[in-house]
Amino acid sequence: MRILTRAVGSLPPGTLLVGAGTAVVGAASYIHLAVAGHTLDADDMSGVSVLWTIIFSVGLGLFFPVEQEIARIVAARSVEGEGAGPVLRRGTVLACGMLAVVVAVIAAASGPLADKLFDGDKTLLTALAGALAGLVAVSVTRGTLAGLKMFKAYGASLALDGGLRIVFAVGLGVTGTRSPLMFSLVLTVAPLLATLIIAVPVLRAARPGRQVAWRELCGGLSLLVVSTLLAQMVVNMAVINVKLLEPEATALINALLSALILARVPLFVFGALQASLLPGLASIYASGDLAGFRNLMKRGALLVTALGVAGGLVATALGPWLVTILFDAPKNVLDYADFFWFSAGTICYMLAMVLGQGLMTMARHRFQLVAWIVGTAVLLGVTFLPGDIKLRVEIAYAAGSFAVALVMALALRLPARGGAGSRSADGSGVLPPTSLSVSSAPGSR
């Protein structure tokens, strides 16, 4: 509790609202899927489950790094007195260009994608494209807000998005809507409306300034995109893998998504804590106190381990009952062992997130990427072993996450080149602004 108290006490005014907004988004995920699970039949819910998983894996993997890069550049420019307007404009163009490419791929492969993922329902591909557009909108605006340290507006954006999802999902449930498309479109309409509401303070704050170079905006994006995509693959691929390997197992697909949501409750809490840990890591490392940096890393790791164990015990003990009550999942599909594996994977995943922030602080982005590549390879290797598909995807999540955390821990033990205070390219000892950006844990939105 002492580390948490110190971290909270050091937060800039309004940062706690980021945690509150993250909590609303987390609640929205549960309520949205719970209402859909109680309203739709098993086949329709299977399509919504797969769509939800793709959006919060591939979608976040593509566009969350854009938010991080915009935040990084805006923060650096604000120190120099430069306005965020040029970054906002070019960031929007970049994100929209990425969206256009993805939508073109979806359109070109609409037939096979619909058949393989959504049992031939092409309307869900439209909902997928719309949800990706929503991610573009929130990524650009939240990146600007984070870079400008407008934490109250950032938290409000999260809360609006989550609150609207809750309102729309409950409305569909109350009216008895049984359309998987309508439940899927919630993920399009809510973020777009939230962006429109928050757009005024964003535009007012985005003052004019010198033009930002494309190289500055895109230089580190590829590493971030690949790392984040792999991270999302590790945490979300269980549902998609079952759909691809055993597409007829609709009851298992729906139950697995519900179990993952429950087992990942600690991740939503961690999203609120992440903003508190990052400034502490960055300031200690910048001062050259390598021992203090390692000590804070250890305490952060202990904190998320305790959080994960507490959440895991509850999920393992009550999970089989909760998924039937909250999500109307079929009985006797999942047991205590299933929730144990998912909970173990979540603990390792949170450890990897903490260790990854340490690598970013030390400007070791390539080691972070290598770790996620190793973890993904382990995940795929276990998934394609012979045996029961359910057990394979569960152990794959845990083993893949453990492999990532292990590689990152080893990378952190490597000696710092030039000393703890010499990370910047110009020798100033200033940390990369990416490590200071405020963001939710991937997979928590």
- Average pLDDT of the chain is 79
pLDDT at position 16 is 66
Q: Is residue 398 pLDDT above 70, yes or no?
A: yes
pLDDT at position 429 is 35
Q: Percentage of residues in the chain with pLDDT exceeding 70?
A: 82
| pLDDT, greater one: 109 or 324 | 109
Q: Is residue 116 pLDDT above 80, yes or no?
A: yes
User: Who's near 36: CB < 8 A, 6+ residues apart?
Assistant: 45, 48, 169, 172, 173, 180, 183
364 contacts 411 by C-beta, under 8 angstroms: yes
179 contacts 52 by C-beta, under 8 angstroms: no
Extents of the domains making up the chain: 2-436
pLDDT at position 410 is 92
pLDDT at position 433 is 36
- What are the tens digits of pLDDT across the range 253-311? 778 777 877 887 777 666 656 655 554 565 577 667 777 777 878 878 888 888 889 88
Span 147-156, mean pLDDT? 80
Cα(434)–Cα(363) distance, rounded to whole angstroms? 9
Q: Which string of DSSP letters, residue by residue, matches 1-18?
A: -HHHHHHHHTSPTTTHHH
For the ranges 39-48, 72-81, 93-102, 281-290, which has the lowest average pLDDT?
A: 281-290
Question: Quick check: helix, strand or coil at residue 220?
Answer: coil
Q: Is residue 411 pLDDT above 70, yes or no?
A: yes
Tokens linked to 136: 């573009």
Give Cα 223 distance to the centre of its chain.
Answer: 16
pLDDT at position 131 is 93
- What are the tens digits of pLDDT across the range 6-17? 544 544 445 566
Q: Helix-strand-coil percent breakdown of the chain, rounded to 5?
A: 80, 0, 20
Tokens linked to 96: 């929209």
pLDDT at position 12 is 43
Q: Percentage of residues in the chain with pLDDT exceeding 90?
A: 22
pLDDT at position 440 is 44
Residue found under tokens 């276990």: 382
Nearest residue to 259 (alpha-carbon basis) of 361, 329, 209, 155: 329
Using the 8-state DSSP alphabet, how is residue 436 labeled? G
**Type of residue at 35:** V
* Confidence tier at 1 by pLDDT (50, 70, 90): very low
- What are the tens digits of pLDDT across the range 179-234? 889 999 999 999 999 999 988 878 777 777 677 767 766 766 777 788 888 887 78
pLDDT at position 301 is 85
